[in-house]
Structure 1
């Protein structure tokens, strides 16, 4: 879900479809992520659209995903330079 939120804001229904999970489970996870300050919600009518809380959270998520991906590949590349290139920082 967090990877999806790096792409932009999304509704519970979209996130549930992407994750292959029930909307109620996704909603519960989002509530916990919101309490932790990692995501924020924007209400539009009856829908709530979620996104990463801020630029700091987006950078942390990119770094965590980069790290996990390169651990899987056994890549010893310097993560900071690659993250900046991917993130456009």
Structure 2
């Protein structure tokens, strides 16, 4: 085959895609991102809604912040987190929709 008709991915693109899928491969991060796609939240709120320790939530938010999937704003002494990459949220929602179809509509149950 002639290589000139193919488009090849650059190494930075491959690394970026790999990092995104790494982020989406963790169940806790999926839960956090899905919640943040719905509303801006503090660590305390995320912890209460998802039934996780604040330490676990903070650890995952740090990872997600470092790869720029979430951002935060400060209000007094509280940090409020929200999604910072709508493309990744779109991927997440598509994966949830796909899982729902595969499970006969039970993914959100």
- Classify the TM-score, shorter chain: 0.7 to 0.9
Matches within 5 A, 1:17-56: 17-56=48-87
CA distance in 2, matches of 1:22, 1:70: 31
Q: For the pair shown, which has the larger CA radius of gyration, 1 or 2?
A: 2
User: Which structure is higher in RCO with an 8 Å CA cutoff and minimum separation 6?
Assistant: 1
CA distance in 1, matches of 2:45, 2:59: 15
CA distance in 1, matches of 2:99, 2:78: 32
Superposed structure 1 runs of 4+ greater than 6 Å apart: none
- TM-score (structure 2 length as normaliser): 0.61
User: Deviation digits for residues 1-30 of structure 1, max 9, x if unmatched?
Assistant: 111111121110110011101111101111
**Is residue 94 of structure 2 the alignment partner of residue 72 of structure 1?**
no
CA distance in 2, matches of 1:45, 1:73: 45
CA distance in 2, matches of 1:36, 1:70: 30
* Unaligned runs of at least 5 residues, structure 2: 1-31
CA distance in 1, matches of 2:99, 2:62: 24
Aligned length, in residue pairs: 74
1:55 to partner: Cα distance: 2.4
* Unaligned runs of at least 5 residues, structure 1: 75-89
